[in-house]
Structure formats: structure tokens, C-alpha cells
Structure 1
Amino acid sequence: MPLSEHEQRMLEQMERALYAEDPKFASALEGSGLRTYTRRRVYQAVAGFLVGIALLMAGMVAQLIWVSVVGFLVMLGCAVLAVTGWRKTPKPGEQPAGAARRQVQPKRSMMDRIEQRWQRRRDEQGH
């Protein structure tokens, strides 16, 4: 059910107010926040990988096998995080993977169902 003109104006006013009050939060809601989050996660994983290499080398120099094993496990875990994070990062201008599916088959939200019931009751009472 499309929004009325009044509802559309109210929605636009609320969006403008949100951008005016908290532009950082508003931009995070647009989807670019997901790209920033996954990119930051990849950078953290790369830094962790470098820490793992340092632990591996330190364990070999100090002849402590358990430190080398911990370093290797840190490297492995961070490599997995980096690869999975890099694959999930949406390209600039691209929608997140779940958004495309939602547009193909829109699910009716609970609010849509409530609104539809309300509209039906108003129509029934009007007759």
C-alpha cells in the first residue's frame, strides 16, 4: 500500500531532521556503514596476522614451541577473518547481499499486516 502525500512529506521531514541531528548515524543507516565495518574488520585481521607472525618468530627464537603454536593459530584465525570479511564487503554503490533478495520477494512486515487490518476495519465500518 503506497504512502499518502501527507505521509510521504512527514517521512521526508523526519529524514531531513535525522540528517541534521546526527549525520554520522544517518549515513551508517544508508549501507555505507556496512562497507566501512567490514573493511575495518579486514584491517584488524591483517594486523592480527602480523602479530601472529611476530609470536611465531619469537617462539622460534626463544625456543618455546607453545608460543610458536599460538602465533600460528593467531595467524590462521586472522587469515580466515580477513578472507571472509573481504568477500562480504559490498562494492561502492552496491547493495548488501540480503537487500537484493528483499527487493525480489518483499516480505510483509508485522506493521504492514497491522496496517492492512486497520484499513480493512475502517472500510468495514464506513459501509
Structure 2
Amino acid sequence: MPLSEHEQRMLEQMERALYAEDPKFATALEGSGLRVHTRRRVYQAVAGFLVGIALLMTGMVAKQILVGVVGFLVMLGCAVLAVTGWRKAGKPGEAQAQPSAGSGSRRQGRRKRSVMNRIEDRWQRRRDEQQ
């Protein structure tokens, strides 16, 4: 769930205050550890995919259907982990990707954004009514 504009502004203010107060600590917390962890997970998934291929081939050569099926399932699971992990990792020096109206299909991006805008507006109205 994306942050509202107000929440994004608050977060940016807190980040600026943290950088002003202790820049060394702020740079240590930038989040590169998450990116490294995610990339390591992707590499492990690729290695698992290769193990799955080996199991699949072994099952085919030995005519052991169960081994081949297990190899295929390992390949499938590792492929899913690699693809989802790669999307989360992002590129070095790039902040966490926030969906924008120009990314992906323009029509779909606008539709998603407009739905999210309506939901955020409703949420904001409810919060304002309660106060």
C-alpha cells in the first residue's frame, strides 16, 4: 500500500532531519543491506534452478518419474523466487522503485493510480471526519 502524499512529505522531512543530525548514521541506514540480501537470494534461486535441471535430467535418464517431477518443481519454485527477488532488488544507486504513471502500460498505470487515489481520498476523508 503506497504512502499518501502527506505521509511521503512527513517521511522526507524525517529523512532530512536525520541526515542533518547524523549524516554518517543516515548513510549507514540507506538500505543497501536489503538489496545485497535480495541479490544473494536471487543467486541462490538460480543455483537451485540449476539443481532442478540436474534432477530433471537425472530422472529422465534413470526413468524415475518422481525424481523428474521433483526436479521440475524445484526449477519452478526457484524461478519464481528469482523473478520476484530480482524485481525487489532494484539497481544499485536507485531508490526503491515507486510505481509511477509512466511505468509499464500507460492505460493500466493510470487505472491503478486512479483507483489508489480514490482509496487514499476516502481514507483521508474518514480520518478527517474522526478528528
For the criterion TM > 0.5, the same-fold answer is yes
1:33 Cα offset (Å)? 1.0
Alpha-carbon contact 1:42-1:85 (below 8 Å) kept: yes
Alpha-carbon separation, structure 2, partners of 1:45 and 1:70:
15
Counterpart AA for 1:54: A
Report which structure shows greater RCO (CA 8 Å, sep ≥6). Answer: 1
Alpha-carbon separation, structure 2, partners of 1:52 and 1:97:
31
Alpha-carbon contact 1:52-1:72 (below 8 Å) kept: yes
- String of CA shifts for 1:60-119, please: whole Å, max 9, x gaps: 111110000000000000001111111111222222247xxxxxxxxxxxxxxxxxxxxx
1:62 corresponds to: 62
1:76 corresponds to: 76
Q: Say whether 1:93 aligns with 2:75.
A: no
Structure 2 alignment gaps of length 5 or more: 1-9, 99-131
The number of residues matched between the two structures is: 86
Alpha-carbon separation, structure 2, partners of 1:31 and 1:85:
15
- Structure 1 length-normalised TM: 0.55
Structure 1 alignment gaps of length 5 or more: 20-25, 99-127
Tell me the secondary structure at the aligned position of residue 95 of structure 1. Answer: coil
Counterpart AA for 2:92: P
Alpha-carbon separation, structure 2, partners of 1:76 and 1:97:
26
Counterpart AA for 1:78: C
The structure with the larger Rg is 1
Alpha-carbon separation, structure 2, partners of 1:90 and 1:49:
21
- String of CA shifts for 1:13-58, please: whole Å, max 9, x gaps: xx65x69xxxxxx74x321112111111110000000000011011
Structure 1 runs of 4+ aligned residues shifted over 2 Å read none
Alpha-carbon separation, structure 2, partners of 1:31 and 1:58:
41
